[in-house]
Amino acid sequence: MTQDLIEKINALAKKKREEGLSEEEQKLQKELYKEYLTQFRSGFKQQLNNVDVKFPDGKVVPLTELNKKK
């Protein structure tokens, strides 16, 4: 996720609160939100793929394997 993307989203949100947005700016805002969510979800899934679960018996299993068993 780039800092530039976040800054653009924040600038449009501030403008929306203070002045309102034109139709073109509203479309841009929706596209930026969509791109942000796509990147966020991708990063979150990547984090979950690196999570291991340790059971009381000492066995360590990747979280992705636990989801496959269900």
Running DSSP on this structure, what letter comes out for residue 56? T
As for how many domains the chain has, the answer is 1
Report how far apart, in Å, the C-alpha atoms of 39 and of each of 27, 28, 43, 65 are.
Answer: 19, 17, 6, 24
Contact 23, 53 (CB under 8 A): no
pLDDT band at 1 (very low <50, low <70, confident <90, very high): low
Residue-number span of the structural domain to which 33 is assigned:
3-69
Convert the pLDDT of each residue in 21-59 to its tens digit: 999 999 999 999 999 999 999 999 999 989 999 999 999
pLDDT, tens digit (0-9, with 9 covering 90-100), for 50-70: 999 999 999 999 988 877 765
Sequence-ordered list of residues with C-beta below 8 angstroms from that of 35, at least 6 positions apart, any chain: 5
pTM assigned to the model: 0.73
Predicted confidence band at 11 (pLDDT cuts at 50, 70, 90)?
Answer: very high
